[in-house]
Structure 1
């Protein structure tokens, strides 16, 4: 047999042998496509709709898949989502993150929600550290304007965190450990009753020692949700979340004129600064939703929410004007901010569906009360006696001692703003 005929025979035999495998994989691919089409989303239209039918560019992230792929941190839900760029924020990393939708230049152009309720921080910023990730079922990311549906802030896009519904009896536990004394435990309990009723309890504790002094944090998060049938056409759902986070704040490393990091006692892991910089936040989030089907075509929904957020932060800001390398001194400004925000949110919607016609109407109202205190610490005064300084804290970068603590112009937590 010629080499040409031998080659054709080998190819034919290979094709016959691999045909069943190709058919099986094609069936698997089709089944995966069906699963994708059956994914239900609500964010882009404010109503349940299959992902393939949504008239918007939307990505859906399943939190179980994220966890299996190593999801451990706020903003990880944006990994792999085309058209969305994110950067870790200040403080503990997932506070004040920068999220850009399709090249938008600021986070204020997007909106974050939990079950359709806006979750905005003290200064209109998204704070992913307020979100109860262990109770989230999926994350819906809309790339494009949805201001007509949600109002404020959703010019470039929106991220809606959908909480799990307790639809069965289940116990979930997860233990995680890592380097630098990192430990985390997650526990959730679910119990179903009735056709759509149920209750869920979820809790998280996290403890991180940090790779350097003043680099640790602790986190408590407790979440509970209940769904209750009030009749064949009426359902009530309610949840509450408590979050307590205490994060230490390490210092910035002082640099010499040549840009090299200056050596100081204790090495890279030691802390040089004033006091104990830290960031403490305590947050309550409660929500209630009542849904009633008036008829097959008309349904009503009423939502109410209350948030109470307390934050106390003490920071050291590097002061380049207070640097005296010849004397071994670096300068800092001591800053303290204590803020409380209380937010009441209410919304009512009506949806009418008949054939191909779908009409949604509603209104929402929000009231936010903010109390803020800002104080500064250091040697302060634009006089010869005070040294023409602005809350300067002089620190010996080798020993860490505060050198001007006994100066007559040195003040502690002097009030600058109280509103």
Structure 2
């Protein structure tokens, strides 16, 4: 297909900004217009629940320097949303009422925080959310966090660093259990409990009030600060109204990130990709996926027909624990541990049908290249090999 003259990117998060930068890196000389509801130029999310909350950074990592967009003739429309996508005539309608044509379009609309009925409190998804939450984390204040996923655990770590009393409530039996399983979830729970966090697990929220949070087991929590960390919901309204195929909680895209509509692509949180490596659809809401898919989809937008093959990757920093996770496993996969969980210096592996599905290195930094190779290959290995063999040789 011929190179497009006008590319529209809906979303100014990491996926959209990475796509815009990669388009120019590839030598694309046509018009690029980006639309985003926020007033900040594109930034990365990890620092919002880590260094920014901890006070180690005054601002997030920006995707590009301030002059990048003007220097590269990228029309960055901040504070302007897209209200309607019209695939049939290759136009969009923006919040200023303008009808704008495109030759190719990227949907990189990201996610919004999920909320519970009647919920009151802070959420953490945007730079403004982080800037609003940080000053509330003051010594001696009681912080109640609803949700023991990644954001909930990272906020708990930051709150304890500021001297807050912290209670985390979640209806599941362990933190992070859906991703890591019970044993690794218990390891994270132990880490937080050693730092003074109190957990209310196996019980959900019954109700919210201006003064507190009532749990299903009758416990009344009276916080100074409430943080809602119960996941995120992909922003699919635009795609749904335009008649694009939706599946697996996202926008259905093929291996190259093309949607069901001609000349419309999707990347990042909203993309449910038919992933060649896994043989099924994969939708990932992590930083690396937004960055890597955004970079990759630039090629698709200018006519290349190359599949996106990367395995999911994410990381966390909590207290003195640093962790990287590669791959895609389920909590019921066979867990194999190399090293000492008690010392929190180990590598965890997940096996299914004798093949490596995922690996997580915790405070161990010497094997990243080997772990990536093994996970990408979905290597056929035994538990004994993973515990004892040289990982570089296995890779």
TM-score range, shorter chain: under 0.3
Normalising by structure 2, we get a TM-score of 0.24
User: Higher RCO, 1 or 2 (CA under 8 Å, sep at least 6)?
Assistant: 2
**Higher helix share goes to which structure?**
2
TM-score (normalizing by structure 1): 0.23
Which one has a bigger Cα radius of gyration? 1
